[in-house]
Amino acid sequence: MPSDDRPETLHVTTDAQLRAVSNLTRHRIMAVLRFEPATITQIAGRVGLAKGSSSYHVRLLERAGLVKVVRTRKVRGVTERYYAMAAQTIVLPDPGAGQPDVLMRHAVADLESAPAESERHVQMAHLRLTPEQFAELGARLEALADEYRELSDPSLPDVSLVFALFRTTPRKPTEDGAK
């Protein structure tokens, strides 16, 4: 399905959509559909699910409007459906105060389940930045991600890029003066 046929962005706003994207299995199914349409059988194979489980999760995503059938074909008398993301980009709402960040939890789960021998680059840096530097770094990271998204080739193995740039909650000193 050419990316031109899909809207650029879909904002997750309904409870059904939030429930759908909050599930790690459905997150992984959406990752499979990120670049090209796939059948239930193909999705099941890529995610490591039984076809029945894969079908169940895809139906929930479809009802939530996050994926859709983009083509069908008859195979030995059975209609095979190809599913794709409903938009090029799915935008999650910011979590409320004290709420878990679903996207980051899924990213950590994906990182932890990646083969131990696979190449990875993981780094955490603590910085002290002016508001202007903070905004510039955020814009540069987003531009870099966009640049490499344009280079993505669906025939190559999946790679995930996750970054989070945020101001931490100021820590109060303890009674003994330690921070």
Tell me if 2 sits within 8 A of 70, measured CB to CB: no
Share of the chain above pLDDT 70, in %: 90
Residue that is written with structure tokens 């489980």 in the block: 53
Q: Helix, strand, coil shares of the chain as percentages rounded to 5? A: 40, 15, 45
Predicted TM-score of the model (pTM): 0.73
Question: What are 144-158's pLDDT values in tens digits?
Answer: 998 998 888 878 888
Question: What are the beta bridge partners of residue 173?
Answer: none
- Classify 60 as helix, strand or coil: helix
Tell me if 120 sits within 8 A of 114, measured CB to CB: yes
Indicate the pLDDT class of residue 137, thresholds 50, 70 and 90: very high
Question: What are 43-98's pLDDT values in tens digits?
Answer: 999 999 999 999 999 999 999 999 999 999 988 888 899 999 999 888 888 777 66
Strands 9-11, 89-91: pairing is parallel
Question: What are the beta bridge partners of residue 123?
Answer: none
Longest dimension (CA), the chain: 75
